[in-house]
Structure 1
Amino acid sequence: MRTPLGWAADRWTLSPRVLRWATTFALVMGVLIVLGGGIVRVTGSGLGCPTWPECEAGSLTATPELGIHGFIEFANRTLTDVLVISVACVIIAARLQKPRVRSITRLAWSQFWLVVANAVVGGVSVLAKLNPYVVALHFIMAMALLTAIALTWHRVHEQPDRPREVRSVAKSLSWLTLAVTFVLICAGTLATGSGPHSGQAPDGSPVQRMGFDWLAVTWVHGLLAGATLALGILLVLILRAPGEKVARERAWFFVAAVVVQGVIGVVQATTGLPAVLVILHVVGAGLVWIGAVRLILDVQPGLFPSVHIGGPGAVTADSAQARAAVR
């Protein structure tokens, strides 16, 4: 059966530049949706819209009676709509490439389904009155979305013919760095869920918190941050060969992101968790995760190789599989 996108692809073609801009748009929106979630949390607006998918019974939008909290929560839901539009742009731009690269189209659709899944989890968190574990899952799902977006961005922006020769020890270390970074982010959700910014109802009454000791979880989170930084620095020191230049540059970026994030974390923990710093720390977590994903993509270039899009050098998944079969 012919799909609308297939019908459109038979008639129109979009340039690779459009696809690159679309993936950048989606990447920016992915970070902004994390920012929006942080603002909702620190302002206590998680129940500003008391139900879902409506904002309140009988109204999809916030009403004046819901006040500033309703406005903030509804604005965050509207931001999700813009995110959906950005992902739709990636899907359309990927499908209307000539020739089509099926792996990019699949990645684009994975972004869409992750947005839908995370919206449902966000709705469940409202219906569950901001259960801290559901809220933590909501954040982890946002990191999964950033992963798909970063993978797509990498596929269409990086030059596939750049020389990449990385030693096996660096590849193993990059996997360890990614794993520790993920545990670090999970520990961050436990620290937030146990602390004073774990959310509140619009009337100011606290919501359910995780039953962990906030100081102990914060120390564990800090130790994991130190381990992540040490792994990043070790990668910088190991990646010294000429063919490892791209990977070394990515490792430096990752180290810088972890350092900035660590400074923000220490300052916020020692100054009473001011709302602005908490928001910056939430956004920083997303940027650190993107850095970890891009680090492993450059340290292991054969794991998820970028491709030519458009022009005579373009390849499709089908043609690549055919060549592999011939070999």
Structure 2
Amino acid sequence: MKRSVRFPVSTALLRRLAYASIVANVAIVVTGGAVRLTASGLGCPTWPRCTDESYHTTAEMGVHGVIEFGNRLLTFAVGLIALATLLAVLAHRPRRKGLLGLAVAVFLGIPAQAVIGGITVLTNLNPWVVGLHFLASMAVIAAAYALWRRIKDPDGPAVAVVPGPLRTLAALTTVVSVAVLVVGTWVTGSGPHAGDGGAARNGLDPEQISQVHADAVFLLLGLSVALVFAFRAVGATGPARAAVVLVAVELGQGVIGFVQYFTDLPALLVGAHMLGSCLVLLATLSVLWSTRERRPTPVPAPAPAEERVPATA
């Protein structure tokens, strides 16, 4: 009887693929921002075709068509990385708990995010749909990060490394971090970078919603600083380091946010702020993940010789 040929996938290769998926999804957020910031959101005026007659850009569409079509092509590259990661998870032995579900979530998140992107075009860059497009990318990044972290962990039970109240504080910080991202899309939808000169805005007052966003950022920063001191107080060095990184990322993102606000939102700084949003999310997830760790399932010791049941003849 012939055995089927298998191509074993190492844990190291699996982690590299998952890491590449994180990087690729962050990259498509940044390039998607470039589409909006260069007013190329309708460079391809329809979807899934680029024009009514063609799936690709034409010379008559100029640089805006090239930028928008290039971003669409990048979606295929991101999808191929997600597919490679999924196939690697299927080939990896022994099969790890939870990996397949996360890999499927990342893979299916790519076309889902692309469809939402298509709806943004079909709705002439409706700001609420544009915001949903960004948040869908954040969800895919979060799933890719969870996959990358889970690959490293053993299959044993998750054990808390900090007291329950601090885990609750870390969870609350995560919720506020997500709220900051959501409100940030409202700020974007009220501002000048619509992606096209004729695109509508969401009708919110830019100054007022920016203040709400800033208040949420200050709350997030306060919670993160509290986590640093709380983790250090209980001797949780790993979570404390993760919280310090989070505070540093938030401060950098905050500086970019304030500078862009008081300099009339230059495109380059807005793009940097979008990249910073991805980094804030990843740093927040790192803190949340650090509050627990998985330990290998203990192997039961063999019974003493005198307690073993003798084999029957």
TM-score (norm. length: structure 1) = 0.86
Mapped to 2, the partners of 1:293 and 1:16 lie a distance apart of 22
Of 196, 199, 206, the residue aligned with 2:198 is 206
Mapped to 1, the partners of 2:13 and 2:263 lie a distance apart of 45
- Superposed structure 1 runs of 4+ greater than 4 Å apart: 158-164, 305-308
* Cα offsets for 1:58-91 (capped at 9, x unmatched): 2111111111110000111111111101111210
Of 33, 36, 40, the residue aligned with 1:45 is 40
Equivalent residue letter for 1:246: G
Mapped to 2, the partners of 1:69 and 1:307 lie a distance apart of 53
Q: Residue 240 of structure 1 aligns to a residue in which SS?
A: helix
Q: Residue 232 of structure 1 aligns to a residue in which SS?
A: helix
My pick for the range that moved more, 240-249 or 230-239, is 240-249
In structure 2, what is the equivalent of residue 319 of structure 1? none
- Change in 2 beyond 3 A, CA 1:102/1:237: closer
In structure 1, what is the equivalent of residue 305 of structure 2? none
State whether structure 2 residue 171 is matched by structure 1 residue 185: no
In structure 1, what is the equivalent of residue 29 of structure 2? 34
Equivalent residue letter for 1:252: V
Mapped to 2, the partners of 1:186 and 1:163 lie a distance apart of 31
* Cα offsets for 1:276-299 (capped at 9, x unmatched): 000000111111011112211112
Structure 1 gaps, min length 5: 1-7, 314-327
Q: Residue 292 of structure 1 aligns to a residue in which SS?
A: helix
In structure 2, what is the equivalent of residue 325 of structure 1? none
Let me know the Cα RMSD of the aligned residues.
Answer: 2.1
State whether structure 2 residue 62 is matched by structure 1 residue 70: no
Shift of 1:123: 0.4
Q: Residue 166 of structure 1 aligns to a residue in which SS?
A: coil
Mapped to 2, the partners of 1:267 and 1:299 lie a distance apart of 34
* Cα offsets for 1:294-323 (capped at 9, x unmatched): 21111244xxx4889xxxx9xxxxxxxxxx
Shift of 1:220: 0.8
- Change in 2 beyond 3 A, CA 1:65/1:307: farther
What does residue range 1-327 of structure 1 map to in structure 2 within 5 Å? 11-158=6-153, 165-200=161-196, 205-240=197-232, 244-301=236-293, 305=294
Shift of 1:57: 1.5
TM-score (norm. length: structure 2) = 0.89
- Change in 2 beyond 3 A, CA 1:29/1:50: same
Quick check: 1:52–1:123 contact (8 Å CA) kept in 2?
yes
Shift of 1:206: 2.8
Quick check: 1:38–1:283 contact (8 Å CA) kept in 2?
no
- Change in 2 beyond 3 A, CA 1:51/1:76: same
Mapped to 1, the partners of 2:96 and 2:151 lie a distance apart of 10
Mapped to 2, the partners of 1:145 and 1:306 lie a distance apart of 27
Quick check: 1:155–1:306 contact (8 Å CA) kept in 2?
no
Shift of 1:9: 8.3
Identity within the alignment, %: 37
Mapped to 2, the partners of 1:27 and 1:307 lie a distance apart of 26
Mapped to 2, the partners of 1:42 and 1:257 lie a distance apart of 23
- Change in 2 beyond 3 A, CA 1:9/1:39: farther
